[in-house]
Chains A and B, each alone.
Chain A
Amino acid sequence: MIEFDHVHKHFGRQVVIDDLSLRIESGEFFVLVGPSGSGKSTLLRTVNRLVPVDAGQVRIDGEDVVTRDAETLRRGIGYAIQSVGLFPHRTVAENIATVPRLLHWPPHEIRARTAELLALLHLDEPGMGSRYPHTLSGGQQQRVGVARALAARPRIVLMDEPFGALDPLTRESLQASLKAIQRDTGTTILFVTHDMDEAFGLGDRVGLMLDGGLVQVGSPLDLLHAPADDRVRDFVGGTRARLRELAVRTVGDNMRRGEQADGDPVDAEASLQDAFGAMLTQGRDRLPVHVRGERVGAIVLADLVSRRA
């Protein structure tokens, strides 16, 4: 659990975080979204004390972070950044093992954990662990960056636009990996991005940040259906908001159970956007829905178009 309690931060005369309070639950995937300069990265860095707050408190599980030794605190919190910052003089495996080594894990445990992470992040081609960062693609480097952040099994991971510099396909694949890992491990993730689609795709809850303050906090659907004001409405995309909503909602929650349809089936876990794409591709307005290979119902175009609560 991370609590921001009336946090205030200014650089010189410019206020960067203005009396901000927020509570992030354990196991939650929380995304801070907002334009450049809105203070979201600064807020993220107050958690591991890379940025000291000027007033207010940041608490982890009820404990004020300034009471902890900064280095011990940071070793307990995963950290991944857009520019990755892999150590160029260390191999992939050594990079991943950074924090476990700082924590003096026994060597065999470090080796086992490194191998586990290489597999988890689809970095398991032979010889990957002994390669140097400059021989990797951008996507592979960021996978290593994420693995390094997760290495010591931190209960909290901070991610500052980690996928911002990647091409769309690589980004989607990494988002999927991260989401799956987060669901399996129950890690609390605080994720910063300026990309609304990324925020809605990943976040259990999303906080929209503008000019150092939170304008609205809620589930992606809350922000889409009930924007707090015009600024939120603009940011979530006006008419495109409905398209974004398709990406957030799943086929399983919107299908007609037990009904039949022809065509290639879509998976119940897929988003409505995927289903819509499949309908366009197949030229049909209804498609069968699968759960683990079994037909359970149908998804119908009219249900995607009609507004539902």
Chain B
Amino acid sequence: MKAAVSLGLLVALLVALPYSAAWFHAWQPEVSHPLYSRHSFVALTLSHVGLVVAATSVAVAVGLGLGIVATRPAGRSLLPTVRAVAVIGQTVPPVAVLAIAVPLLGFGAAPTLLALALYGVLPVLGQTVAGLDQVPKPVLHAADGMGYGRWRRLLDVELPLAAGPIMTGVRLSAIVSVGTATIGSAVGATTLGSPIVEGLVGNNAAYVVQGALLVGALALTIDAALAAVERRIRRGRS
């Protein structure tokens, strides 16, 4: 429901913004080009979403993998290290990651993708570890006693029971990415941050508002959609 409303808002903005030049001109009469036109808003949105999806996929793969390894008996000793590394990843501001990545990867989408992926790992990792840790011990004991192998137990019992918390991590990771991706435009990635950055540099508040409106609507849409998936997963038990 919420997802449909947010999506409706996003689509409405994408349809209406190209015809809103008069409004922005009335608000900012001194600006010669009141409507951002270097890329279409649809193209910016698709590029933004693509970056978020790619970064979140990498973050989920890495976070889930590390979380699983760190909760296996053999990997338990790695847990503090894995957590520490992930927390450091979260502490370093994305701008700093971009600054370090640009000399290595050049301008454009690549350094942004790296920063977003690094940034998105911690929520997934944290929630994977928490989710796997809260699977009731008697359930695991019973599974062992009935002859589940390690991998079978992980796939059939542990991951399904941890799916709710893991999905929360995926949602947090994606939402952080939607916001942070805008910064990527500072190093040349094409995102909804492009009008914002250009507006800030060129002292054009209309551009900033156009970018910000779309990013806001996109974040609401993705959050609501993933929350709906999460509720679906959590229902049926508890």
Contacts and interface: CB of A to CB of B under 8 A. Distances in A.
Interface of A: 48, 50, 70-76, 79, 81, 83-89, 98-99, 102, 132, 134, 145, 148, 158
Nearest to B163: A89
> Dominant SS at the B interface?
helix
Given A71-B148, A87-B161, 18 more contacts: A73-B147, A74-B146, A76-B147, A79-B142, A81-B141, A81-B142, A83-B138, A84-B142, A85-B136, A86-B142, A87-B143, A88-B139, A89-B160, A89-B161, A99-B147, A102-B152, A145-B142, A158-B145
B38 interface: no
Contact of B142 (A85, A89, A132): A85
Contact of B237 (A48, A98, A134): A134
Contact of A75 (B147, B157, B237, B238): B147
8 contacts: A71-B147, A71-B148, A79-B145, A88-B237, A89-B236, A99-B146, A102-B148, A134-B238
A285 B224 CA distance: 75
A89 B237 contact: yes
B137 to A, nearest CB: 8
A86 B144 contact: no
A145 B237 CA distance: 18
Contacts, number: 65
A85 B147 contact: no
Contact of A81 (B145, B149, B160, B238): B145
A48 B145 contact: yes
Contact of A84 (B138, B148, B149, B238): B138
Given A71-B149, A98-B146, A85 B237 contact: no
Contacts of B236: 89, 132
B157 A74 contact: no
Task: Give the residue among A85, A134, A145 with the most B Cβ atoms within 10 A.
Answer: A85
B144 A88 contact: no
Closest A-B pairs by Cβ, 7 of them: A85-B142, A74-B147, A83-B138, A75-B147, A85-B138, A79-B145, A71-B147
Contacts of B146: 74-75, 79, 98-99, 102, 148
Nearest to A74: B147
B237 A132 contact: yes
Nearest to A79: B145
B139 A85 contact: yes
Contacts of B145: 48, 50, 74, 79, 81, 158
